[in-house]
Amino acid sequence: MERKNAWNKYSKEQKEAVFAFGEEYRKFISECKTERECVAELTAQAKAAGFEDLKEVIASGRGIQAGDKLYAVNMEKMLCLFVIGRQPLEQGMNILGAHIDSPRLDLKQVPLYEDTEMAMLDTHYYGGVKKYQWVALPLALHGVIVKKDGTKVKVNIGDREGDPVFGVSDLLVHLASEQMEKKASKVIEGENLDLLAGSIPFSAEEDKEKSKEAVKRNVLNILKEQYDIEEEDFLSAEIEVVPAGPARDYGLDRSMIMGYGHDDRVCAYPSFAAVLEAGICEKTSVCLLVDKEEVGSVGATGMHSKFFSYMTAEILEAMGGYSQVSFNRCMANSRVLSSDVSAAYDPLYASVMEKRNCAYFGNGLVFNKYTGSRGKSGSNDANPEYMADLRRIMDENGVSFQTSELGKVDQGGGGTIAYILANYNMSVIDSGIAVLNMHAPWEIISKADLYEAKAGYTAFLKEA
């Protein structure tokens, strides 16, 4: 089956639009490296586009009708957007679902310690990572510290002009003969992914205990001066360790973007953009951005949370039509693109790919009929009737798309939020963008694929 590179179809004006949207997205992932930052930025953009807070609308007692644009935020790490369509909600919704968490390191609750006059920050990795990829890199701290009085202190160290950075050291090659004999999974142990945070001792003349952990106390003194926090405030903190620096254009032709967090913000951002671009459709349009996918979609802000169900029920109630039956009909009649990334073909690692059934840079939006591992374990496995209708929509709207599996059958696999939404009896398929270096600190995507994803998501909202 012939594959067509999307770059070949673009006019000069279309290519300019591809690059313009790519730059818009590049700035987004450069500035939004945590779930909270993504939700804050996209909520601000939604408000600017006329979206109203669903919780405030409910509290006011005002009814909801076709054309209303609503958003709901859950614990600052999950965002739902609804554009109420012309058809009754019982007829179902068209949902774009993606996740906004990415693999990273997290500071432990008691992170700061001193060893041989070095102040260190202890971490616990989050999600599926190759631990050796996180050493000898400039790293930044992003997150929030909540004090006992409820005050929230936002932390962003390493990404602003003039900021210091942090890092996990690696063993010099001159002494690494034993290390080099280890398996890749053991070269760097999880408990050794600690950040070097300082090396100057606290030297105040009045300090009677200056010989005890003086470097650690100097770091604490800096934190007190700059953030007004104490060591115990780390107990109620959420600090993520992420690669420092902005996303960059990649390649001499600038056709790609290298950045942190493409998985899965490269699908979340065009999903958000598509809801804004599609406007009022026949069916209610939804953009659902969730947390915790990389650790099983668990918790109050993951896809297993009932938050989305609760907000949908609230909308039905505000439209005067809630019952368990109407809710069930609404969910079962809905269609979903579970917008998550797929593995791009890499000629350097061709042995794990099956060329006829993998994704290629520049070939457009990717549909994965199933993910899972080996014998489709944990897979949603979409129905062919649904896939056929999506083919029609994409072809009629000139959207470049391709189909893919996640590598050869017995090489491994992965999962998404698709199966969770399918539990409501929705029609669901995985669709997203091909990524190189997936789960590495710096991942790579094609600007053409990003643009085709937005076009495909918009066509889906309008016509599914």
410 pLDDT higher than 80? no
Query: How far is it, in rounded angstroms, from Cα 367 to Cα 276?
Result: 22
Residue 382 has a pLDDT of 85
For 438-453, how does the pLDDT look when each residue is reduced to its tens digit (9 = 90+)?
Answer: 999 999 999 999 999 9
User: Which structure tokens are listed for 12?
Assistant: 């000069």
196 pLDDT higher than 60? yes
For 417-436, how does the pLDDT look when each residue is reduced to its tens digit (9 = 90+)?
Answer: 889 999 999 999 999 999 99
Are 258 and 170 a contacting pair, CB within 8 Å?
no
Mean pLDDT throughout 323-347? Answer: 95
CA 192, 195, 201, 206 torsion-angle sign: negative
Distances from the Cα of 374 to the Cαs of 185, 206, 343, 356, 415, in angstroms? 21, 65, 16, 17, 12
Going from N- to C-terminal start, the domains of the chain cover 6-102+260-463, 104-243
Nearest in space to 275 (alpha carbons), one of 73, 93, 16 = 93
378 pLDDT higher than 60? yes
Nearest in space to 10 (alpha carbons), one of 448, 392, 360, 366 = 448
**Helices 324-332 and 307-318 meet at what angle, rounded to 10?**
120
Mean pLDDT throughout 45-61? Answer: 96
Mean pLDDT throughout 121-150? Answer: 96
211 pLDDT higher than 70? no
Residue 450 has a pLDDT of 98
For 265-316, how does the pLDDT look when each residue is reduced to its tens digit (9 = 90+)?
Answer: 999 999 999 999 999 999 999 999 999 999 999 999 999 999 999 999 999 9
96 pLDDT higher than 80? yes
Query: How far is it, in rounded angstroms, from Cα 446 to Cα 5?
Result: 11
Q: What is the pTM of this model?
A: 0.95
What CATH superfamily is the domain 104-243? Aminopeptidase i, Domain 2 (2.30.250.10)
Provide the mean pLDDT of the chain.
94
206 pLDDT higher than 60? no
Residue 85 has a pLDDT of 97
Nearest in space to 217 (alpha carbons), one of 236, 230, 233, 205 = 230
Query: How far is it, in rounded angstroms, from Cα 58 to Cα 64?
Result: 9
204 pLDDT higher than 70? no
Mean pLDDT throughout 92-120? Answer: 97
Burial, 44: exposed, middle or buried (Cβ in 10 Å; 0-12, 13-18, 19+)?
Answer: exposed
208 pLDDT higher than 70? no
CA 195 from centroid of its chain's CA atoms = 24
Mean pLDDT throughout 346-372? Answer: 91
For 3-32, how does the pLDDT look when each residue is reduced to its tens digit (9 = 90+)?
Answer: 789 999 999 999 999 999 999 999 999 999
Nearest in space to 233 (alpha carbons), one of 124, 342, 144, 141 = 144
Contacts for 186 with CB less than 8 Å, ≥ 6 apart: none
Mean pLDDT throughout 152-156? Answer: 96
Query: How far is it, in rounded angstroms, from Cα 188 to Cα 447?
Result: 33
Residue 377 has a pLDDT of 76
409 pLDDT higher than 80? no
Contacts for 9 with CB less than 8 Å, ≥ 6 apart: 398, 400
Are 108 and 303 a contacting pair, CB within 8 Å?
no
362 pLDDT higher than 80? yes
Query: How far is it, in rounded angstroms, from Cα 115 to Cα 117?
Result: 5
Contacts for 320 with CB less than 8 Å, ≥ 6 apart: 63
**Helices 12-31 and 262-278 meet at what angle, rounded to 10?**
120
- pLDDT tier for residue 97 given thresholds of 50, 70 and 90: very high
Residue 210 has a pLDDT of 60
**Helices 447-463 and 262-278 meet at what angle, rounded to 10?**
40
DSSP, residue by residue, 372-435: EETTTBT-----HHHHHHHHHHHHHTT--EEE--SSSTTS-EE--SHHHHHTTT-EEEEEE-EE
Phi-psi label, residue 74: left if phi above 0, alpha if psi -120 to 50, beta otherwise:
beta
- pLDDT tier for residue 370 given thresholds of 50, 70 and 90: confident
Residue 417 has a pLDDT of 87
Residue 21 has a pLDDT of 98
* Stretch (H or E) spanning 98: strand 93-99
120 pLDDT higher than 80? yes
Query: How far is it, in rounded angstroms, from Cα 187 to Cα 379?
Result: 32
Mean pLDDT throughout 324-331? Answer: 96
323-355 burial: b if 16+ Cβ within 10 Å, else e: eeebbebbbebbbbbbbbbbbbbeeeeeeebee
Residue 207 has a pLDDT of 58
Phi then psi for residue 240, to 5 deg, are -105, 140
What CATH superfamily is the domain 6-102+260-463? Zn peptidases (3.40.630.10)
Mean pLDDT throughout 379-408? Answer: 91
